[in-house]
Structure 1
Amino acid sequence: MKILIENLAFDTIIGILEHERTTAQKVHIDCIIDYPYSEGHFINYAEVAEMIETTMHKEQFELIETALEVLSATLKEHFPLIKELLLTIRKPTILPNCSVGVQHATHY
């Protein structure tokens, strides 16, 4: 079974530029979770989305790459049914003519 969380959007502190350390900016996060669903054994996608946003706000990452690694480990720890995880973080407003981001795939 796959859970799809697409375009989870919120403002947070992320980045290495001086203004990124003091002013929250919009991020968009996509998450695909593959897990073995069975009756009574499921992953609550609302809890996953909340954990992603809470972690991003708490940690105020400098690098997207670090955010992806920490989010992957945190999600796996709290949702041990995860077998594969694909996370994408985009910063849609950091450059004037495009959205930029980084993607990380993890197989357990």
Structure 2
Amino acid sequence: MASILIEGLTFDAVIGVHEWEKKIYQKLRVDIEMEWDISAAAATDDLTHTIDYAAVSSRIIACANEQPLELIEAMAEKIADVVSHEFGVSKLRLTLRKPAAVPAADAVGVRIQRGEW
């Protein structure tokens, strides 16, 4: 097995618990590692045998903007569900960061894992 990686996917979404946060877009950053058997893709050089990271990236951004959420925990779980179900990924690690949430920190975030690694 191998991993398909998307690192530092950055986009804006409405997220936050404070009333002022519910009215603005804030920057979010996602890193995702998806376990995948790449042997067929490596042997055939055919995208249909692997995960299309551009499609996953676009879907993550769309998912994050489908409805405003208050917590990054809820957003991370929602994104993991979408990637798992829509792209057939049974094992993944996802880190979601909110860079501007705490002025004294580079970012705050949550890391979740699906499946046994």
TM-score of the pair, normalised by structure 2: 0.85
Which residue of structure 2 aligns with residue 94 of structure 1? 101
Post-superposition shift, 1:76?
1.1
1:15-54 pair list within 5 angstroms: 15-39=16-40, 40-54=48-62
Post-superposition shift, 1:83?
3.0
Which residue of structure 2 aligns with residue 78 of structure 1? 86
Which of 99, 105, 108 is the aligned partner of 2:113? 105
- Aligned pair 1:63/2:71, yes or no? yes
List structure 1 runs of 4+ shifted beyond 3 angstroms: none
Deviations, residues 29-53 of structure 1 (Å, cap 9, x unaligned): 1111111223252110111111100
Where do 5+ consecutive residues of structure 2 fail to align? 41-47
Identity among equivalent positions (%) equals 35
TM-score of the pair, normalised by structure 1: 0.91
Aligned length: 107
Where do 5+ consecutive residues of structure 1 fail to align? none
